[in-house]
Amino acid sequence: MNVVALAGLLAFPSLAFAQDLALKRVMLSSGGLGYFEYEASVDGDATLKLTVSLGQVDDVLKSLVVYDDKGSVGGLSLPGREPLAQAFKDLPFDQNSLGSPAELLQTLKGAQVTVGGSRSISGRIVSVEEDSVALPDNKGMVKRTRVTLYTDRGLQQFILEDAENLQFADAALRDKVGQALVAIQGNRAKDARTIDLSIRGQGKRTVRVAYIVEVPVWKASYRLTLGADPAAARSGLQGWAVVENLSGQDWKDVELTLVSGRPVAFHQALYNAYYVTRPEVPVEIAGRLMPGIDRGGVTADQQRAKSSLPMPAPAPYRARQERSVGAPAMAPPPPPPAGLAAAAEQIEASDAATQVIFKFPRAVSVENGRTLSIPIVDRQVPAARLALYQADTAARNPLAAIRLTNDGESGLPPGIITLYERDKGGNVSYVGDARLSGFPVGETRLLAYALDEKIIIERDVAQIDRVASGTIANGALRLSRVVRQTTTYRVRGPAREPRELVVVQRRLPGWTLTKPETKDVELSEGNYRIPFQLPGGDQTQTFEVVQEQTQQQEIRLVESAAEQIRVYAEAREFDPKTREALTRVLQLQQAATEAQRKVAQVDAERQAIVQEQGRLRDNLARVPANSDLQRRYLATLDKQETDLEALANRRAEAEKAAAAARDVLRTYVSQLG
């Protein structure tokens, strides 16, 4: 068998097929895709017609696949995106010219025509004019079209509405008018295109045509009925699929399969015409040269190395039962789980690599525009009741929830779950809704469906930061700090029945859960799920959740402030040796600080003298020369200069002492650790 495939996804199913094509199989994906397969009985060569809407052509070209066990596919053809524009492209008139005979004649001025009727005229069209003529007895006006022809006898006129026939003398022009009319008739539905599929082969056989297209997403919804006993281990789960047929045609006795998955899907405008833009080169004339631009190149060996590998040959068609080639892969269905209801026992559910498949063994009929809801699961599942506390959702009360486990043979698609509860008398009541995410085999989901007002919770959060340890190395004090966040839950449990409480606590990135033990704690979407047991009896219990983070800090001992070092020198978290070393560092730092203070003191004295000298010099400029006051100012300046020389010596000695004190501090610190 030969297979020709135009791979792809998206688009709606075709609007209509020829009578020899019948829809047999439909596979719908929760990813918004649908696989539609048709069959036709042919004898020898055949042409199958497929009519699709204009917006669907890209996707049909992208995904159409034809299967013929005893023949081959000759190809397909269809009109262009604008077939009428192409049809009129080379004609001497446009589509609007065919709106009326007058418009056509107006467009074809100069054409030779022959007019028959009460009088026969032959000539070339000169003009077409519209006149308004009064009816007899003042019965109104009527529009008449007056055509002027150039004939052997000169200009002659006739009324177009009175002519019995009019014929173009040029046979080629007559053919063009007929060709245009045929094109209009063939494209009466402007938003539809008819695709011709050419089939080649011998004898009678069945040909299948399929493609993957865009469809409405099918939805799943569930019903979970809780038993009267709160401690019951299992509850009844029913699942239903909601399917819409918006394909434009009825589904009659089709094989329906539902797939839950999210395949990668693309759209490509294959029906658009694309052209490669070429540079325009002027015509070469004598005396003008325009050589091409050399942009470098590669050797032939390099070019071959860059060439892509040839496409692999298509794999042979494996077996007749693999009918859904091009659709999502379908794993062999496992036997239905025990205990299913009669309706659900007919469903063949299976897990593929990336999706869950539900196949309905009986044919399904759905009229176009109608919605169908059909069961996909009906069985008992493990379901345990609990209280789920989410502070962001409800700060005072937890949520009533169910821990649901999928112990079946296949996964379940996401959907809404409606929960019912049966009392001891067998009566059923509605208790709430929950949301179910994709539910693989063996996994567990917590489904919150109502507020549990029987339990009251108070929540407090406190955080402390303490130094855990410290060591000295390379002139620095390396601290290990522990930041601890404690969340305290004070819980007043239900008055009667015991209850499991699951607290959802945000997991701090980079922090460690130290209380409670992580043995029974789950991690989900960045949150801890921490279980606690409530014995019942209206008791109030206190639970703590502690997360810690260890942080490292480095303090340079030489540059740090004395007060900071004094705090750590007295810290009991450090060993005696470290505290003793820090105390000595503090003493040496104080000595260095005192030495530096003496340098600053000398600088202050010098600055005071300099300021006083400025004042004296200003006064000297104002007093009389050789006066007693002048001599007094000069004597004072002389003494101050002597004092400045002494201060300079003192500063040098103080700076030397300060440098020595700093060296002692650095030497001691460098020897620590």
Domain residue ranges in the chain: 84-186, 458-556, 562-671
Q: Model pTM?
A: 0.62
415 burial level (CB within 10 Å; 0-12, 13-18, 19+): buried
Instruction: Name the CA dihedral angle for 405, 410, 413, 416, rounded to a multiple of 10 degrees.
Output: -40
For residues 381 and 419, is the Cβ–Cβ distance under 8 A? no
**What residues of the chain score a pLDDT lower than 70?**
1-20, 80-87, 90, 186-191, 283-346, 351-353, 673
Q: How many CB atoms lie within 10 A of CB 63?
A: 23
* DSSP assignment string, 290-348: -PPPP-----HHHHHHHSPPPPPPPPPP--TT-TTTTSPP-PPPPPPPTT--HHHHT-E
CA 580, distance to chain mean position in Å, is 61
Measure the CA–CA gap between 231 and 224, rounded to whole angstroms. Answer: 16
Measure the CA–CA gap between 130 and 123, rounded to whole angstroms. Answer: 19
For residues 588 and 547, is the Cβ–Cβ distance under 8 A? no
DSSP state of 484: E
* DSSP assignment string, 95-159: GGGGG-HHHHHHHTTT-EEEEESSS-EEEEEEEEEEEEEEPGGG--EEEEEEEEEEETTEEEEEE
Distance set, CA 564 to CA 556, 558, 586, 590, 666 (Å): 11, 12, 10, 13, 18
Nearest to 21 by CA among 2, 36, 41: 41
| DSSP-derived pairing of the beta strands 219-226 and 415-422 | parallel
| Omega of the bond leading into 516 within 30 degrees of 0 (cis) | yes
Supply the angle between the helices 576-620 and 562-569 in degrees, to the nearest 10. Answer: 160
* DSSP assignment string, 492-556: E--SSS-EEEEEEEEPPTT-EEEES-TTS-EEETTEEEEEEEE--SS-EEEEEEEEEEEEEEEEE
Nearest to 566 by CA among 587, 596, 594, 593: 587
3-state secondary structure of 180: helix
CA 226, distance to chain mean position in Å, is 37
* DSSP assignment string, 25-47: EEEEETTSEEEEEEEEEEESSEE
What pLDDT, on a 0 to 100 scale, did the predictor assign at position 313? 37
Nearest to 374 by CA among 243, 248, 257: 243
**CATH level 3 topology of 84-186:** SH3 type barrels. (2.30.30)
What pLDDT, on a 0 to 100 scale, did the predictor assign at position 283? 67
Nearest to 23 by CA among 368, 349, 350, 361: 368
Measure the CA–CA gap between 168 and 177, rounded to whole angstroms. Answer: 10
